[in-house]
Structures are given as C-alpha cells and as structure tokens.
Structure 1
Amino acid sequence: MGDLMRPGVWGVLATPFRGETLEVDTAGIERLVKHAEGAGVTGFTVLGVFGEAAQLSREERRLVLETVLASTDLPFVVGCTSLGTAPTVEEATTAVELVGDRLAGAMVQVNSADPAVLGAHLDAVHEATGADLVVQDYPVVSGVRISAAVLGDLVASRSYVSAVKAEAPPTPAAVAELTARCDVPVFGGLGGINLLDELACGAAGAMTGFSYPEALVACVDAWDPADPGRSRAALLEYLPLITFEQQVGIALAVRKECLRQRGLIDESGVRAPARSLPDSLRPLLSGHIARAQAL
C-alpha cells in the first residue's frame, strides 16, 4: 500500500445529502468524484471530517465507500472517526475489506499527547488490520495537542505509517518539523489556506477539500522551490474564497453551498451539529463564486 501514497492533492470528499431526511446522495458523490478526478487529484480521502463521517451510520459509511470505489480507479485514504482503539480498528477493518489494494492508508487521528499511548494505539490498529496508516494531527477536532517534534519521532519509528496530515496551526512550522524528523510525505490540510507556505516548508502537497480542487492541483503541480511565484500565481486569485470557506463553525456549510452553486451537488444540507450557512453571508459567497468562475 505504501507505493500508493504519492505527492500531490488528495481530495477530501464531501458527503452530499438530499431531502428533509438528509439521505446520502450517491449521484452527487459520483459527480464530485468525477470532477475532482478530472481536475487531476492524486487520490481521494473518503469519510474524513468534511465528509461528515461522524454523522454517518455504519451502513452509510459503507455506501459512501462503495459509491466512490465504483466511480474511480484512483487510490483512497479512508478516515477513521474515533479516538478509541477498538472502534478505530473496526472502521479500519471495513476500509481494508472494501477498498483492498487501492487503500493508501487508513487515516487515524492523534488520540493522545503521550507518545507511548499514541504509539500503542497506532500499533494496535495496524496489527489488527494490516493497513498502512495516515496519522492526522487535527487538534480542532480531536482536542489533542502534540508537539510536531514528538509526533515526527514517533512516525519515524513506525514503518507502517504512510503519511502525516498536519493540521495543527501554525501548520508551516509543523510541516518543517515533521519533514525534518521522518521520511514519509507530510500533507497540509485546512482547505489549502496555508498551502503555499506548507510547500515552502517541505509539504508533499495537500490532503484537503476545497470547492475548486483544480486550483489546489495547479498550485501543487507548479511548485518549484527555485520559482515559488508560479505556485503563488496559480492560487492567488482563489485565496479569498479559500479564506471564506474556512470560517470556523460554518466551513462545511460554506463549502457545500459552493459545490451546489457549481452544479456539483443538488443540495447543500449538513447534518447536526454542523451549522447552516447564515443568510447574511449568501450574497458574499455568491460574489466570491462569480469571481472564481471568471478565472
């Protein structure tokens, strides 16, 4: 599985819903996959935080995975929502069973700042499933803060870790520390808001969602440390929308409405406890999208 974890943009898929009951919209998933693949993503991150995986039933998670599997031949990273070892093993086992040799890694969140506890957790998941792991450091979601130095050393001692997703601000500094201490690819996240600086600090690309994945792909593909201006030019005009999408508390609702206005999904509903998009921001969002569409 390690050979599947290549540099580039790993697109985090949203899970579209339909109707008042917010049922999983498989046709919308297929459109999102086809669009991102056409934009040039390296692979997909499925059932991540922005896929609202924690709000999906076990059956719905399987449905999402099966839909994406049937829609693309690209490799997958599959998110595990829990911080506990037993439920993480259960989720990773499902990923292995369904995705098979297209699984680039099961994405496991940092669940403790104590390296002994975290190391035991990662070891247990790998030993139970045989899966390579992507370690996600996302304290806003997990509530756990670990130093990049400690995490880097822990990753360096575990050959089954295929990548790190660094989402603990300041992310450029975390990327620099992690890449200095371990040999696996380190990817930025957070919607690409710090992507240019993360690339400058050694990131292998981005593992994140943005309503214009083509912009992230263009930025990463253009990256050259000797000529960073090319990547900057590819992303610069999209940065206002990236910033707008990343507003704390409503980021998911903003991105889904962006995707709806782009015609990639039919409805932009989110499941509780996610907040809906405030009506006061809709005209601003439409303006951002109009400018992005004109690029």
Structure 2
Amino acid sequence: MPLLTEAAKGVYVIAVTPFLENGDVDWTSVDRMVDFYEEKGVTGLTILGQLGEAPKLTSEESKEIARRVIARAKVPVVVGVTAPGLAPMRELADSVMEMGAAGVMVAPPWTTKTDDQAYGFYASVGDALGKTPWVLQDYPLTTNVTIAPKVIDRIIKDVPTCVMLKHEDWPGLSKITALRASSEKGETRRISILCGNGGLFLPEEMARGADGAMTGFCYPEMMVGVVENYAKGDIDRAHDIFDAYLPLARYEQQQGIGLASRKYVLAKRGVISSGALRKPGASLSKLDIIDVERLLARQAKRLAEIGA
C-alpha cells in the first residue's frame, strides 16, 4: 500500500472497534466493518483513534486489530500510535508500518503547555519515527493542548515526515485559513488537512481549503458525498447532503453517549454485531434510543426528498 503523502485527500474514516457483549474484540465484525467503509466510498481508514477506544485495548489487541484491518483493506490505513513515551510509540509505529500501514497519527501529551514544548515534542516525534510519514492530531477539546498556526508552520518547515494535519480545533476555521495562507505564500510546504469533529463543519472546512475529512460518523457516505461534490464544484449539492445528516451528526457529538449512538446505528445497519462499548463506557437509555430512531426516520425522509 502506498505511503501517506502531503497530497492525501478525501475521507479517511475513523473506524470504531467492534466488541462483543462480553467485551471481547469482535473479529468477524472488524472484517465486515472494513468492507462496509470501502463500499461507502471512503478513501482510507484510520484505526486506533480516540473513538476507536484505543486506550481500552491491550498492546497485543492493538497490533492484532492493525494487522487484521491492514490485511483486509484495499485502501490506505493510518494507525493511531499516541503513547505516553516515544519508545512505545516507535515500537507500535514500526510494527504497523511493517504490516503495510500508510502512516501513523500522533496527538500531543496533555503536559504540553507552551509553543516551544509543542514544537519540541513533534520535532522529537519526527526523530523517533524516522522515515515513517505521520499525522499531527490537533484536538484541543480532548488533549487540552492548543497548537497555534505559527507552531504548526514551524513543525511543517522543520519536520518533513509530517505530511498531514488532522484538524479538530473548535472553533478552527481561521486556523485552516492561516495555514493555507502560509503555503500559498511559499512560506511552508502545503500539507494535507483532513478535518474531524464528526464532520460538523465539513462544508465550511472544505471552503477554507481542507482536503477532506478524517473523522467518524455512522453514515460515512455523508462525508464522502460532501467532499466529492465540493471537489467537483457542486457546492449546493454538498450542503444539501450535509444538511440532511446534520441532526444525527450533531447528536453523535455528545460527550459520553455519542459513540454509543454511533455504534447503535452501525449495529442497526448490520455493520457490527453489537453496539457495545468496552467498559468503562456509556450505553443508551430507552429515551436515547427513541431520540436516535426519530432522527433516523427524519433523515430518511429528507434524503428521499433530495434524492440522495
């Protein structure tokens, strides 16, 4: 599989990790999930991310999931390798790259407080990972680390193996604008920018110069439709598709039950056998399920109205 480059674009969906009701990894659903995402037109897969419940996996489970997905996938696979130290990060990165991963993704430690610390951390990541291409995960809402555009520009200039920004700042549209201005002026390389936050701002992010999405949603075809239509200049169609799915995407962004609702719908769609989260994890109440079912019904109605 080709390595990740600055030219990456499209939808690299953040994959869930399927579990059985007893908490074991559901390997059959892992296979079915990979096939489902590819059938929906995604450009790539990103595994072992925050919403893939990576912190709840053992190191052996993480490697086995990576091996299983990479072996089955026909699209590039990016693997989250964030760890408390550089040694375990490098160990997992080396392992998944040998399996055929396209690249890895790294979030900063919560102890990062200053611009120099953020730069120093990612400079050390570049040194530790060698030739492995990697994604800078910028997700302040979870990491509590804010990385200013000028710091990202500095990392891009000095660390050539940083080929993508996973942009999840919120609000963050001005950050995309600033980064694109730097590359357009020739001050930095133009790297790929794929956006997260469940796709809540995807049309606006595309308008600011993003190359696509790297996030999860129980209907990945929404993100595929928005990105493809934006790329061919049909902006109104991109917004029509986005608007039809927005209420459910918004519901998924709730802390706690958001992932539970995503897995509930994926199970309902036959992608995974159970919507279970590995403990500790939230579960949907009867009223939550009523909410989701109402949103699904209204979504189906709206999609029929716009012929999507």
For residues 81 and 142 of structure 1, the distance between their equivalents in structure 2, rounded to whole angstroms, comes to: 11
Task: Tell me the equivalent position of 1:228.
Answer: 235
Could you tell me which of 254, 268, 275 is aligned with 1:268? 275
The residue aligned with 1:119 is 119
State yes or no: 1:65 paired with 2:66. Answer: yes
Give the equivalent residue in structure 1 for 2:80: 79
2:178 is matched with which residue?
177
Instruction: Tell me if the contact between 1:78 and 1:95 (Cα under 8 Å) persists in the aligned partners.
Output: yes
Q: Name the aligned partner's letter for residue 203 of structure 1.
A: A
Q: Relative contact order: is structure 1 or structure 2 higher (C-alpha 8 Å, sep ≥ 6)?
A: 2
User: Which digits, 9 at most, give the CA deviation of each residue in 1:184-236, with x for residues without a partner?
Assistant: 01111011011011111111000011101111101100005965212101211
Residue of structure 2 in register with 1:212 after alignment: 219
What's 2:103 paired with? 105
Counterpart code for 1:290: A
Q: Return the TM-score normalized by structure 1.
A: 0.91
The Cα of 1:121 is off from its aligned counterpart by 2.8
Distance in structure 2 (CA, Å) of the matches to 1:115 and 1:278: 42
The amino acid that maps onto 1:286 is E
RMSD: 2.0
Contact 2:245 2:299 in 1 (8 A): yes
Secondary structure at the aligned position of 2:272 is classed as coil
Distance change in 2, residues 1:119/1:96 (3 Å): farther
Q: Secondary structure at the match of 1:136?
A: strand
Q: Choose the corresponding residue for 1:259, options 254, 266, 289.
A: 266
1:139-165 deviation line (CA, Å, top 9, x unaligned): 222221222332233223321111000
CA shift in 2, pair 1:15/1:119, >3 Å:
same
Change (3 A) 1:224 1:2: closer
Cα distance between partner residues in 2 of 1:161 and 1:288: 39
Using a 3 Å threshold, how does the CA distance of structure 1 residues 180 and 104 change in structure 2: closer, same or farther?
A: farther
**Which deviates more from structure 2 when the two are superposed, residues 268-277 or residues 156-165?**
268-277
Matches within 5 A, 1:187-206: 187-206=194-213
Decide whether the 8 Å contact of 1:200 with 1:225 is kept in 2: no
| Corresponding position: 1:24 with 2:25 | yes
Amino acid across the alignment from 2:283: S
- 1:30 shift after superposition: 1.3
Q: 1:90 to 1:119 in 2, by over 3 A?
A: farther
AA in 2 matched with 1:259: L
Report if the CA contact (8 A) 1:171-1:188 is conserved: no
Tell me if structure 2 keeps the 8 A contact 1:109–1:136.
Answer: yes
Matched with 1:35 is 36
Q: CA deviation at 1:5?
A: 5.3
Tell me the percent identity. 34
Q: CA deviation at 1:4?
A: 8.1
Which consecutive unaligned segments of at least 5 residues does structure 2 have?
Answer: 183-187, 304-308
How far apart, in 1, do the equivalents of 2:295 and 2:160 lie?
Answer: 43
Does residue 9 (structure 1) correspond to residue 8 (structure 2)? The answer is no
Deviation digits for residues 35-58 of structure 1 (CA, Å, limit 9, x no counterpart): 111111111101111111111001
